[in-house]
Structure 1
Amino acid sequence: MNWNIWIRQIHCWLSIAFTVTVIINFIAVARGTHADWLGFLALLPLFLLLFSGLYLFALPYATKWRSG
C-alpha cells in the first residue's frame, strides 16, 4: 500500500472523528453543559483534516508536474 492510500484513509477517518466531535459539541451546547475544552476538542481533527486535504488536493498537480 502506498502513501496516497494511507493519507486518503486517514483523511476519511479524521472526517468521521471531526463530525462526531461537532455533534457532541452541539449536544453539549443544547443541554447547557458546554465546556471550553469541549469546543477546542474539534480543532485537532480539523487541523489534521486541513493538512491531509491540502496534500490530497495537490497530489494530482504534483503527479502531472513530475511526469512532465
Structure 2
Amino acid sequence: MNWNKLVRQIHRWLAIVFTVTVIVTFVALAQEEPVVWVSYVPLLPLFLLLFSGLYLFVLPYAAKWRTARRTRAER
C-alpha cells in the first residue's frame, strides 16, 4: 500500500474514533455526577488528526515543489 493512501486511511479512521469519543464525552458529562477526566479523552485522536491532516494538506504542495525542482534540474 502506498504511504499516502495509508495516511489517508488512518486519517479517516481517526475521524470516526474522534466522533465516537466526542459523543461518549457528551453522554458522560450529561450524567448527574459527571466524570471530568472524560472530557480529555477526545484530545488524543484530535491531535493525531491534526498531524495526519497537516501531512495530507502539504502533499499537493510538496508534489509541486518536487516537480518544479525536477524541471529546473533538467534545464
Q: TM-score range by the shorter chain?
A: over 0.9
Moved more, 23-32 or 54-63: 23-32
Segments of structure 2 that go 5 or more residues without pairing to the other structure are 69-75
Residue 20 (structure 1) aligns with:
20
Q: Secondary structure at the match of 1:34?
A: coil
1:37 CA displacement: 2.4
Contact persistence 1:11–1:52 (CA under 8 A): yes
Q: Deviations over 1:1-46 (max 9, x none)?
A: 1110000000000000000000001111122342232111100000
Segments of structure 1 that go 5 or more residues without pairing to the other structure are none
Contact persistence 1:15–1:49 (CA under 8 A): yes
- Name the aligned partner's letter for residue 18 of structure 1: F
Q: Secondary structure at the match of 1:32?
A: coil
1:31-46 correspondence to structure 2 within 5 Å? 31-46=31-46
- In structure 2, do the counterparts of structure 1 residues 33 and 15 end up closer, same or farther at CA, with 3 Å as the change threshold? farther
Q: Secondary structure at the match of 1:9?
A: helix
- In structure 2, do the counterparts of structure 1 residues 59 and 27 end up closer, same or farther at CA, with 3 Å as the change threshold? same
Higher RCO (CA-CA < 8 Å; seq separation 6+): 1
Larger Rg: 2
Residue 61 (structure 1) aligns with:
61
Q: Secondary structure at the match of 2:57?
A: helix
Runs of 4 or more consecutive aligned structure 1 residues displaced over 2 Å after TM superposition:
none
Percent identity of equivalent pairs: 63
